[in-house]
Structure 1
Amino acid sequence: MTVALQSHPAGPRLVVVGGDLDHHTTPRLRAALDELSFGPGPGLVIDLSALKFCDSTGIAALVAAHQRAEGSGMALVLAGLDPDIAHIFYIMGLDRLFSFSDTVEEAVTSLSS
């Protein structure tokens, strides 16, 4: 699994996650998110376009990131979720919790509007 922290030219923080997000790799995502300052501002996009698999520990880490962002007044958008993984998120009702965008650029636009 890969995790990279980046800044988008339009302002939001960007976390790019690729590979498998499971109980072995989720600590890397948590560590990357712990490096970020959460608070009001341009928001956070988590780019999942290279994510191939996500188990319950990965989902729990994303939910924790959402709760942390929400608690600090920061908007968070998940971008590029594979349709099969997105289906699981919808079945679990996470579409009521998360904002989804097809691409990072759409996510950035949604944060600025």
Structure 2
Amino acid sequence: MSFNQQKKEKYTEVNSQVDKLDASQSPELKSLFLMLNKNSENNIVLNLEKTKYCDSSGLSAILIGNRLCKDSGGKFVLAGLQPNVKKLVEISQLHNVLNIVGSSKEASALFES
């Protein structure tokens, strides 16, 4: 499995196990976000520590997760962006739209308040 999930007290953490988040991996991530949303999981942290590359289909999957959480009154957080992925997010101006933190530990602090 390319992504695993871990239910925390106030959110679900999705950990990417892939080196590249591209057209071959993004459908699985989109399906996971849809399943979580259907199960009323509307607070999600996507941890991309292990992902060194992302393309437009990967960004699309991330945006779907963000929209599903937002539409259901929850919060979507990206954590652990590697330099190349972070650069793509910034070039795409998505750092203005997404909640981005350095680590999953920082992400958990966002759900404490």
Q: Percent identity?
A: 26
Give 1:1-113 correspondences, 5 Å limit.
2-8=2-8, 10-19=9-18, 20-37=20-37, 43-113=43-113
1-structure distance, mates of 2:35, 2:99: 22
More strand by share: 1
2:45/2:77 contact within 8 Å kept? yes
1:5/1:32 contact within 8 Å kept? no
**Can you list the C-alpha shifts for 1:1-57, whole angstroms capped at 9, x where unaligned?**
71111112x43111111221111111111121122036586x210111111211100
Once the two structures are TM-superposed, the CA of residue 76 in structure 1 deviates from its matched residue by: 0.8
RMSD of aligned residue pairs (Cα, Å): 1.8
- Contiguous gaps of at least 5 residues in structure 2: none
Structure 2 counterpart SS, 1:5: strand
Once the two structures are TM-superposed, the CA of residue 82 in structure 1 deviates from its matched residue by: 0.4
1:4/1:17 contact within 8 Å kept? yes
- Tell me the TM-score normalized by structure 1: 0.88
2-structure distance, mates of 1:103, 1:56: 23
2:48/2:80 contact within 8 Å kept? yes
- Contiguous gaps of at least 5 residues in structure 1: none
- Tell me the TM-score normalized by structure 2: 0.88
Describe the shift of the 1:23–1:105 C-alpha distance in structure 2 as closer, same or farther (beyond 3 A).
same
Structure 1 counterpart SS, 2:59: helix
- The alignment of Structure 1 onto Structure 2 pairs a total of residues equal to 111
2-structure distance, mates of 1:88, 1:2: 21
